[in-house]
Amino acid sequence: MARTRPEGRLAVVAAFALAACSPTFDDPGVSGPAEVRQASEWPHYGGDAGGQRYAELAAITPANVDQLEVAWTYHTGDVSRGSEEIPSTTAFQNTPILVDGRLFLCTPFNRVIALDPVTGAELWAHDPEIDLSGHYANQLICRGVTAWRDPQRAAGDECAVRIFTATNDAYLIALDAETGRPCSDFADAGRIDLNPAAGEQRWKGEYQVTSPPVVAEGLVITGSAVGDNQRWNAPSGLIRGFDARTGALRWSWDLSPPGFEATPENTSAEGHALGTPNAWAPFSVDAERGLVFVPTGNPMLDYYRGGNPEMSHYGSSVVALHAATGEVVWHYQTVHQDVWDFDLPAQPTLTTLRLEGDGHEIPALVQPTKMGFLFVLNRETGEPIFPVEERPVPQGGAPGEKLSPTQPFPTRPPPLSRSELTPDDAWGVLFFDKRWCRKRIESFDYEGIYTPPSLRGTIALPGNAGGSNWGGIAVDPVRQIAVVNTMDLPWLIRLVPRDEFQRTERDRDIVELSSQDGTPYGLWREPLLSPLLLPCSKPPWGSLAAVDLARGELLWQRPFGTVADLMPLFSPHWELGTPNLGGPLITSTGLIFIGAAMDNYLRAFDLETGEELWRGRLPAGGQATPMTYQAEDAQYVVIAAGGHARVGSTLGDALVAFRLTPPAF
């Protein structure tokens, strides 16, 4: 049921207030029969288990993409702007999967739904009835579900194909793909309670699961999202592997460093280390090698670590685990002693590279980061494929902090986000706006990327939202091109001494205050915005880029997104480039499909040139990653259009499918 209340605005967007109304599309009509369609598959959240987001389908081409029209729209009804009954807001970040002729998706309220891929008619829906009264640290979000075909069961058997989903209130659930009913032989009537022991959550929603689990070696494996910046001893960021058939726990890993010395103060009642990194973004699987690749967050707390740098050992890292045992095979750290909230936000993308001048194939992993760097690693060893240099970075920061003197910088590909900002770079629509921004920049410390948080105040560019974020990247394995959407929105960070923090109040709605209990400092944070709520840095504030992975070179980069839906006085054709959340999709015909920007469109770009070829209107913000499939001789492109309450885009509850108009066939 939809809820109404004025939308909250988290920073990455407060930049663009004044959300405008959008046209809506019709419902698909009454539910149809539980028919199995003949269709291609999109069996994993990222298309394949390695998250390439690439489709070999060829019906939609650069020549006919401008003929795409809406085929159907399905409305979930699950949207919240925040209310007394449902305090948390929603973000519809879902990417459906397509298995055995059915689309499967999950809503922000964690309802799992099966749809007919041709008509959009609902085939079944399962409501886990999550606790909507919680104050969920990361909003109400469900990015996707996971399918597993049981090799010991025949087609038609109960739970021969299982749909696994993990919920905001931290349950892992197994459903029969045919009927939507819970698998009775999985754990406790089809569900496992993932929550920490009683009393270890400070509030309901401090611990949740927002990304889909993965299945490898007969195990269903899941991470967690833990509320940031509240206390050093937050719940453990456990990663666990359960038997996919019975639900029995096979292994768990709490991301504590080697040699961790447990005490009653730093461990939970279950013996897990507290305040560890967690892994909230989607995982990837290399089934041939039996490996799961985990992108990790930073340990508590994001902006001050003080006397506990050891807990950073596995933080902000790509970690390769043996899927069968949870044993660490290798890990590669992208930020040392991370005090910038530069945790890894996106699925590691697995592909095979053939470097220029070198004939052999390399099993590669491409990891996007909030810094706008791409780390290209050998996924068997974790070694960089292109050189990475340890370079000196700014020091100082808050008293008591321990910083790394260097940070890793990839030499190739080049950075895709900006990291330079001076008072002369101040930007504004009007003279007074620009002057205000200049003074604001002058009053904060900034020595480039990795300027440490301080008591005076620090500019962070890129900021904690990226660079890249959870939408990840797409890779064309034939052309060896990666497509990356990034943002350039500067933030202001200040560490506030504890006694002063108790007296600190928000002077603007966009200010975030976090207690950081157990440290000498609280956190004050806001985006660097003008009085008109536009970024103080020059546009573009969001870009789309193509990278040649064989050479490690940038092919093109262009502004991406308009502010027309957020500030109607601006032209919908003025590509200032906006902050963006969501990811791209590539097809074999050389098309990029992406929503993500802060306007209500799904766009298609030419992979070779970056030229925009088409845009389709959405009923709400497309802060999600699209997918595609072929069914009954037509190719469809599907995206969740539900917006993102905290970033201020238009909220909704729609799943929209586009296909070519009949004359195109």
Model pLDDT for residues 589-605, shown as the tens digit of each residue: 999 999 999 999 999 99
Question: Between the CA of residue 223 and those of 203, 300, 379, 624, what are the distances in Å?
Answer: 19, 16, 20, 20
CA dihedral 53, 59, 60, 63 (to 10 degrees): 140
Stretch 613-630: mean pLDDT, rounded?
97
Q: What is the pLDDT of residue 569?
A: 64
**447: number of Cβ within 10 Å:** 13
Query: Which structural domain, as residue segments, surrounds residue 410?
Result: 11-664
What is the chain's mean pLDDT, rounded? 91
Stretch 354-380: mean pLDDT, rounded?
93
Split at pLDDT 50, 70, 90, the class of 344 is very high
Q: What is the pLDDT of residue 30?
A: 32
> For residue 42, which amino acid is it?
W
For residues 340 and 446, give the distance between their C-alpha atoms in angstroms, rounded to a whole number.
13
Q: What is the pLDDT of residue 418?
A: 93
Query: Which residues face 641 on adjacent strands?
Result: 654
For residues 252 and 242, give the distance between their C-alpha atoms in angstroms, rounded to a whole number.
9
Q: Which residues are catalytic?
A: 341
Stretch 380-391: mean pLDDT, rounded?
98
pLDDT at 391 over 80: yes
Contact 183, 164 (CB under 8 A): no
pLDDT at 13 over 80: no
CA-closest candidate to residue 335, choices 347, 343, 324, 327: 343
For residues 336 and 467, give the distance between their C-alpha atoms in angstroms, rounded to a whole number.
18
Q: What is the pLDDT of residue 379?
A: 97
What would the two tokens of residue 139 be?
Answer: 């909003």
Model pLDDT for residues 193-245, shown as the tens digit of each residue: 999 998 889 999 999 999 999 999 999 999 999 999 999 999 999 999 999 99
Number of folded domains in the chain?
1
> For residue 32, which amino acid is it?
G
CA-closest candidate to residue 312, choices 323, 322, 297: 297
For residues 586 and 627, give the distance between their C-alpha atoms in angstroms, rounded to a whole number.
9
Split at pLDDT 50, 70, 90, the class of 321 is very high
Stretch 125-133: mean pLDDT, rounded?
97
Split at pLDDT 50, 70, 90, the class of 662 is low
For residues 333 and 316, give the distance between their C-alpha atoms in angstroms, rounded to a whole number.
6
CA-closest candidate to residue 594, choices 620, 570, 564, 560: 560
| SS3 per residue for 70-95 | EEEEEECCCCCCCCCCCCCCEECCCC
CA-closest candidate to residue 18, choices 566, 597, 576, 598: 566
What would the two tokens of residue 658 be?
Answer: 């586009």
Whether residue 5 is contained in a domain is answered as no
pLDDT at 51 over 70: yes
Instruction: Provide, rounded to the nearest whole percent, the portion of the chain with pLDDT above 70.
Output: 92
Contact 403, 397 (CB under 8 A): yes
- Give the least confident one: 171-180, 286-295, 490-499, 524-533: 524-533
Whether residue 1 is contained in a domain is answered as no
| Helix, strand or coil, per DSSP, at residue 187 | coil
Q: Does an H or E element contain 557, and which?
A: strand 553-559
What would the two tokens of residue 426 be?
Answer: 């101040």
Whether residue 637 is contained in a domain is answered as yes
pLDDT at 292 over 50: yes
For residues 228 and 343, give the distance between their C-alpha atoms in angstroms, rounded to a whole number.
11
Question: Between the CA of residue 75 and those of 111, 121, 150, what are the distances in Å?
Answer: 12, 10, 31
Question: Could you please report the per-residue DSSP string of 581-640?
Answer: -S-EEEETTTEEEE--BSSSEEEEEETTT--EEEEEE-SS---S--EEEEETTEEEEEEE
Domain with residue 372: its CATH number is: 2.140.10.10
- 2 burial level (CB within 10 Å; 0-12, 13-18, 19+): middle
Stretch 42-64: mean pLDDT, rounded?
97
> For residue 262, which amino acid is it?
A
What would the two tokens of residue 564 be?
Answer: 């027309």
Stretch 391-396: mean pLDDT, rounded?
96
* pTM of the predicted model as reported, rounded to 2 decimal places: 0.93
For residues 20 and 567, give the distance between their C-alpha atoms in angstroms, rounded to a whole number.
7
Q: Given the DSSP bridges, would you call strands 481-487 and 542-548 parallel, antiparallel or unpaired?
A: antiparallel
Q: Does an H or E element contain 442, and which?
A: helix 431-442
Whether residue 2 is contained in a domain is answered as no
pLDDT at 10 over 90: no
Q: What is the pLDDT of residue 508?
A: 76
pLDDT at 31 over 80: no
For residues 367 and 343, give the distance between their C-alpha atoms in angstroms, rounded to a whole number.
12
Model pLDDT for residues 540-574, shown as the tens digit of each residue: 999 999 999 999 999 999 999 988 777 666 666 77
* Owner of token pair 């933030």: 491
Q: Higher confidence at residue 10 or residue 126?
A: 126
For residues 17 and 7, give the distance between their C-alpha atoms in angstroms, rounded to a whole number.
10
Q: How far is CA 215 from the centre of its chain?
A: 19
Split at pLDDT 50, 70, 90, the class of 350 is very high
Q: Which range, 1-10, 122-131, 563-572, has the best average confidence (pLDDT)? A: 122-131
User: Longest Cα pair distance anywhere in the chain, in angstroms?
Assistant: 71
Split at pLDDT 50, 70, 90, the class of 359 is confident
pLDDT at 11 over 90: no
* Owner of token pair 């109040």: 505
pLDDT at 507 over 80: no
* Owner of token pair 């996707």: 144
The backbone region for 595, taken as left when phi is positive above 0, alpha when psi lies in -120 to 50, beta otherwise, is: alpha
pLDDT at 58 over 80: yes
Query: Which residues face 590 on adjacent strands?
Result: none
Whether residue 387 is contained in a domain is answered as yes
Split at pLDDT 50, 70, 90, the class of 19 is very low
For residues 254 and 273, give the distance between their C-alpha atoms in angstroms, rounded to a whole number.
6
∠ CA 28-33-34, nearest 5°, is 110
pLDDT at 50 over 90: yes
For residues 466 and 579, give the distance between their C-alpha atoms in angstroms, rounded to a whole number.
9
For residues 422 and 441, give the distance between their C-alpha atoms in angstroms, rounded to a whole number.
7
**500: number of Cβ within 10 Å:** 12
∠ CA 10-209-462, nearest 5°, is 40
